[in-house]
């Protein structure tokens, strides 16, 4: 996605539009895929004892479908371990694909196709919280109840038919080469202290997600509403910021040194980028309160491969699926999942304190609430 022009002010636009137009037009190319050898006669894998006896019929039905299409805003790096593990388990599912769209385009593409009477998509995956709130009002989600439900936190199905794939922290990214170690932040309050000590040095050197973007609104509003003194901290920081509409732009500008910091980005993007940067990039949780942005997953009622879609959802929610989610750099939330690539939600709660980890809850954002938030933001930015 192309970033909006940099600057302290943000254009007022509906969260439910955002970057949809550009994403909608560009989404045909760049589909990610995971393919197995298509072993149609492979044995039926065993299932946990708590799965219903009829689950084998669901597995058998998937042999006739063999395909799966997902509209998502999730990268190939994140998806590949999940696809590999899923097709290893069900090797006759020979074609699993996911697009990497702009946030609102995930929904807008499906809504447009569905209104036309036919959509090829089976599941939607997205971390734009307010957009899930709107989705839930449209009666398009499958009412399938996963047998994994009772083994997840009570909010694992956050809205009817909208389940959680991961719980990714909102983090700070910084350039270790343009900063001295004393300027590495431990949170947004600490960052405000750093930049206020040298205002001419840091003015315009902090990137922030544009709050008119669905993810930008959720990550920023989550901090200002759930973290004590959140708005006071933002009032101190916003005069130093420039807004962008894309996580890619926010990361790239820290890499290039145009920004020293980018704030309130998804850990699913930032942490792999930092770990592969050869020491150039550093990242931090927000010690005064880290917002966790759930990545939702939902089967649509019109899914052309409903049995395979249900297998995929159940796999993603299972212990093995959550391990694969972690292997892709996203954050598992199912208790007791062994993982190596990143902290789990429970790890974050132990490190930061449970009262300093705030899970964002999906809800529909009325237009007047968004307008009021953007006006307050612009006033604080000056």
With pLDDT > 70 as the criterion, what percentage of the chain qualifies?
A: 90
As a whole number, mean pLDDT of residues 238-250 equals 94
Pairing relation of β-strands 261-266 and 162-175? Answer: antiparallel
Question: What pLDDT, on a 0 to 100 scale, did the predictor assign at position 128?
Answer: 84
99-110 pLDDT tens trace: 988 778 999 999
As a whole number, mean pLDDT of residues 311-336 equals 95
Question: What pLDDT, on a 0 to 100 scale, did the predictor assign at position 18?
Answer: 39
76-89 pLDDT tens trace: 889 999 999 999 99
Of residues 210 and 28, the one with the higher pLDDT is: 210
As a whole number, mean pLDDT of residues 231-247 equals 95
174-228 pLDDT tens trace: 999 999 999 999 999 999 999 999 999 999 999 999 999 889 999 999 999 999 9
13, pLDDT greater than 60: no
Averaged pLDDT score across all residues of the chain: 89
Range with the lowest mean pLDDT among 17-21, 179-183, 325-329, 337-341? Answer: 17-21
20, pLDDT greater than 70: no
Burial of 367 (0-12, 13-18, 19+ CB in 10 A): exposed
C-alpha closest to that of 245 among 35, 15, 71, 80: 15
Question: Contact 163/157 with Cβ under 8 angstroms?
Answer: yes
Which residues have C-beta within 8 Å of that of residue 111, sequence separation ≥ 6? 138, 140
Of residues 281 and 363, the one with the higher pLDDT is: 281
Q: Read off the pLDDT band of 32 (50, 70, 90).
A: low
Question: What pLDDT, on a 0 to 100 scale, did the predictor assign at position 38?
Answer: 56
Question: How far apart, in whole angstroms, are the C-alpha atoms of residue 323 and residue 330?
Answer: 10
Residue 188 has phi, psi (to 5 degrees) of -75, -35
Of residues 323 and 7, the one with the higher pLDDT is: 323
CB atoms within 10 A of CB 33: 14
Q: Read off the pLDDT band of 25 (50, 70, 90).
A: very low
Helix H segments across 257-366? 267-275, 306-317, 319-327, 345-352
Question: How far apart, in whole angstroms, are the C-alpha atoms of residue 91 and residue 39?
Answer: 5
Question: What pLDDT, on a 0 to 100 scale, did the predictor assign at position 3?
Answer: 33
14, pLDDT greater than 80: no
Question: What pLDDT, on a 0 to 100 scale, did the predictor assign at position 34?
Answer: 62
12, pLDDT greater than 90: no
C-alpha closest to that of 79 among 340, 268, 250: 268
Q: Read off the pLDDT band of 165 (50, 70, 90).
A: very high
Range with the lowest mean pLDDT among 29-38, 80-89, 90-99? Answer: 29-38
pTM: 0.88
Question: Which range, 10-24, 27-41, 121-135, has the best average confidence (pLDDT)?
Answer: 121-135
């Amino acid at each position: 996605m192309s970033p909006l022009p940099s600057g302290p002010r943000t254009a007022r636009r509906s969260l439910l539009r955002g970057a949809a137009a550009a994403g909608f037009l560009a989404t045909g190319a760049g589909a990610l895929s995971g393919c197995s050898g298509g072993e149609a006669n492979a044995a039926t894998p065993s299932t946990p004892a708590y799965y219903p006896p009829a689950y084998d019929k669901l597995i058998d039905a998937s042999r006739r479908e063999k395909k799966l299409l997902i509209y998502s805003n999730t990268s190939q790096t994140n998806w590949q371990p999940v696809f590999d593990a899923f097709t290893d388990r069900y090797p006759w599912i020979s074609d699993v694909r996911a697009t990497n769209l702009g946030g609102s385009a995930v929904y807008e593409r499906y809504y447009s196709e569905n209104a036309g009477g036919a959509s090829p998509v089976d599941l939607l995956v997205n971390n734009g919280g307010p957009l899930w709130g709107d989705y839930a009002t449209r009666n398009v989600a499958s009412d399938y109840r996963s047998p994994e439900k009772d083994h997840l936190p009570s909010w694992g199905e956050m809205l009817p038919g909208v389940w959680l794939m991961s719980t990714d922290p909102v983090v700070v990214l910084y350039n270790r080469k343009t900063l001295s170690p004393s300027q590495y932040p431990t949170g947004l309050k600490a960052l405000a202290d750093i930049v206020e000590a040298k205002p001419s040095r840091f003015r315009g050197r902090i990137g922030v997600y544009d709050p008119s973007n669905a993810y930008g609104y959720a990550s920023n509003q989550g901090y200002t509403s759930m973290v004590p003194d959140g708005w006071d901290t933002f009032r101190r920081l916003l005069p130093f910021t420039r807004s962008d509409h894309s996580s890619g732009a926010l990361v790239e500008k820290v890499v290039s040194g145009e920004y020293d910091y980018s704030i309130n980005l998804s850990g699913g993007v930032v942490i792999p980028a930092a770990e592969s940067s050869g020491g150039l990039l550093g990242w931090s949780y927000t010690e005064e309160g880290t917002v966790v942005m759930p990545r939702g997953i939902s089967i649509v009622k019109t899914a052309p491969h409903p049995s395979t879609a249900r297998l995929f959802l159940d796999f993603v929610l299972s212990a093995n699926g959550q391990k694969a989610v972690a292997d892709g750099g996203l954050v598992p939330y199912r208790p007791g999942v062994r993982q190596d690539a990143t902290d789990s939600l429970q790890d974050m709660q132990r490190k930061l304190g449970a009262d300093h980890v705030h899970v964002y809850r999906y809800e529909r954002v009325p237009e007047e609430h968004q307008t009021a938030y953007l006006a307050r933001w612009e006033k604080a930015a000056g």
